[in-house]
Chain A
Amino acid sequence: MLSLEPRSINVDGGLATISKPAKSIGVIWLIAAVALASVVTLSGLLRGDAVATNAAVVNILRLDALALAPSGTGLRSPQGAHPAVVTTHAPSVPNTTSARLPATGTDR
């Protein structure tokens, strides 16, 4: 049972007896370090190479849009019927390049 009250120091055996808590805390350090290393390693192993797979999909389908989130972080147009052409100024101006980013937003 843990207590917030301080205990008395037992100095009878000198430093030989007080090495035990040092070992205990060393074990705690070790456990914490192993926990971090395990989580990092296992999460990487279990996730596999999903990003490489998705990168291949992007490359093959020539995607310029991400479907990461319905909250609008993707790049697809919320305009409706057709892909992201966002008319930010008179489109009749011939041969204009995009001066503004395509609007982001949900498409659902």
Chain B
Amino acid sequence: MKGSTLHSMLTWAMRDLARRPGEAVLTGLVVCALVTVTATTLLLVEAWTTTATTLIEEGPSLVVRRVTSGGWAPIPVDEAVAAAASVVGVTDAQPRIRGVVTAPEGPITVMGVTPSQAANLEVAGITLPGPGEIILGAGVPASTTEPLLELLGSTHMKFRIATLLDDAVSLTLHDVALLNVADARALLGLAPNEASDLAVTVFHEAEEEAILPDLTAAFPFPVRITTRGEAAGAAVAGLSRDGGLAMLLLVPATLAMILLLISALRGWNGSRREIGLYKSFGWTTGDLVRLSLFKSLATGIPGVLTGLAAAWGLVLWPGTTWPGALLLGWQTPPPPLFLTPGGATVVLLTVAGLVLIPWVLASMVPAVKSALADPDDLVRGGEQ
């Protein structure tokens, strides 16, 4: 088809749409709403998965915990670090002082911060808590008037709330309280030479699983080792459980899509006379298919683009809270999620294709069905 003819066809299609502006706008709004619902759900799942995976990859390769017949047991720092370092492939082993204690509003995680860690954490606005001080994550409920927070671990201790962590680090320290290492040990009932567990880093990711037998045998006491792959698997499993419920939102969206397609297909009855007229004037079936294509794209593409923009804003706009609360049960402002360009593009194209392609095909059905029809029958409304 020549360019001028194509342009003429395009302008004719636009003019034809302008004959029914209300119908065109409503159709565009329906497409927009469909895309918004579908893309919001899929973008949220994709963003959560990508964010969790990105962060877990920054964490330790393995976490070693000492177990006894009673369950958890503190790990002796010097002995454990030496045992881990003796295994070929281990590049780093750091003891961690952390645990879960009872706060007035419920359990929270406390973590001891060493001076060297605090120095590196200055980029995130985190300073070293002094003796008797506590730094609270954004998700830790604390009284705004009471400057002291009482925690119950192995003993009762009161801490002065030094500061609250910025929302920017809520992704990792959402409901965490940071303490001086000595205070954390005292609260958790750890001796000065004991830690909660050991974070081990291996030279290569593939060694995480392979090194397990050697690492397990290196310790003179029973240990349980969690790999980074297991941690990522647990995070994704949790999302799958909650995300599965979120997918229920797609059911009404699918129903709406089916109704939209039925509406487009039934348009054949209303447009039969017009198609007969076009064919009487010499329009070919190809012309009519192109006309339908242009018309459906003219309403569908703006609807899809606007719907994608709305979904993106709902999921990733800073401070947006309701999608997380609605879809995943988040009770506090959700952390800033992250999307890779590739993952986002796949989601956006998938949603656009899922809605736009069926809609365009359904819109072209009347023109295709008229291929073998007699124009006179079409104009008179007779049987084709």
Q: Do A and B bind each other?
A: yes
Residue ranges of A at the interface with B (Cβ–Cβ < 8 Å)? 2-9, 15, 18-19, 21-22, 24-25, 28-29, 31-33, 35-36, 38-40, 43-44, 46-48, 50-51, 53-85, 87, 90-98, 101-102, 104, 107-108
Query: Are the CB atoms of B100 and A83 closer together than 8 Å?
Result: yes
Of listed B72, B124, B137, residue having the most chain A CB within 10 A: B72
Residues of chain B lying within 8 A (CB to CB) of residue A53: 123-124, 168-169
Identify B120's interface contact among A60, A63, A93, CB under 8 A. Answer: A60
**CA of A21 to CA of B13 in the docked complex: distance in angstroms?**
9
**CA of A60 to CA of B59 in the docked complex: distance in angstroms?**
8
**CA of A99 to CA of B234 in the docked complex: distance in angstroms?**
13
Query: Who on chain B is nearest to A1 by CB?
Result: B22
Query: Who on chain A is nearest to B126 by CB?
Result: A57
Query: Are the CB atoms of A22 and B10 closer together than 8 Å?
Result: yes
Q: Considering only CB atoms and an 8 Å cut-off, how many residues of chain B contact the other chain? A: 115
Residues of chain B lying within 8 A (CB to CB) of residue A104: 234, 237-238
Residues of chain A lying within 8 A (CB to CB) of residue B216: 95-97
Residues of chain B lying within 8 A (CB to CB) of residue A108: 105-108, 175
Instruction: Beyond A101-B234, A107-B109, list 15 extra A-B contacts (CB 8 Å).
Output: A35-B306, A36-B306, A50-B171, A53-B124, A53-B169, A54-B168, A60-B121, A67-B109, A69-B334, A73-B52, A77-B100, A83-B96, A83-B196, A95-B216, A95-B222
A15 in contact with B22 given A25-B17, A66-B56 (CB within 8 Å): no
Residues of chain A lying within 8 A (CB to CB) of residue B318: 43, 46-47
A18 in contact with B328 given A47-B316, A61-B113 (CB within 8 Å): no
9 A-B contacts (beta carbon < 8 Å): A29-B305, A43-B317, A54-B172, A56-B120, A67-B173, A85-B65, A85-B67, A97-B225, A104-B238
Query: Are the CB atoms of B234 and A68 closer together than 8 Å?
Result: no
Query: Are the CB atoms of A18 and B313 closer together than 8 Å?
Result: no
Query: Are the CB atoms of A87 and B67 closer together than 8 Å?
Result: yes
**CA of A73 to CA of B171 in the docked complex: distance in angstroms?**
12
- Per CB-CB distance, the 8 closest pairs between chain A and chain B, nearest first, are A67-B174, A62-B199, A32-B305, A85-B72, A22-B14, A21-B18, A18-B15, A2-B22
B285 interface hit (Cβ, 8 Å): no
Q: How far is the CB of B313 from chain A (nearest CB, A)?
A: 5
B87 interface hit (Cβ, 8 Å): no
Query: Are the CB atoms of B312 and A29 closer together than 8 Å?
Result: no
Q: How far is the CB of B40 from chain A (nearest CB, A)?
A: 13
**CA of A54 to CA of B338 in the docked complex: distance in angstroms?**
11
Query: Are the CB atoms of B336 and A70 closer together than 8 Å?
Result: no
Q: How far is the CB of A49 from chain B (nearest CB, A)?
A: 9
Of listed A4, A68, A94, A107, residue having the most chain B CB within 10 A: A68
Identify A67's interface contact among B22, B101, B175, B310, CB under 8 A. Answer: B175
Residues of chain A lying within 8 A (CB to CB) of residue B242: 69, 71, 73
Query: Who on chain B is nearest to A100 by CB?
Result: B230
B321 interface hit (Cβ, 8 Å): no
Query: Are the CB atoms of B175 and A107 closer together than 8 Å?
Result: yes
Residues of chain B lying within 8 A (CB to CB) of residue A70: 139, 175, 329-332
Q: How far is the CB of A88 from chain B (nearest CB, A)?
A: 9
Residues of chain B lying within 8 A (CB to CB) of residue A96: 67, 216, 222-224
Query: Who on chain A is nearest to B242 by CB?
Result: A71
Query: Are the CB atoms of B96 and A62 closer together than 8 Å?
Result: yes
Query: Are the CB atoms of A29 and B302 closer together than 8 Å?
Result: yes
Residues of chain A lying within 8 A (CB to CB) of residue B302: 25, 28-29, 31-32
Residues of chain A lying within 8 A (CB to CB) of residue B237: 101, 104
**CA of A71 to CA of B17 in the docked complex: distance in angstroms?**
48
**CA of A74 to CA of B318 in the docked complex: distance in angstroms?**
21
B262 interface hit (Cβ, 8 Å): no
B379 interface hit (Cβ, 8 Å): no
Q: How far is the CB of A96 from chain B (nearest CB, A)?
A: 6
Query: Who on chain A is nearest to B302 by CB?
Result: A32
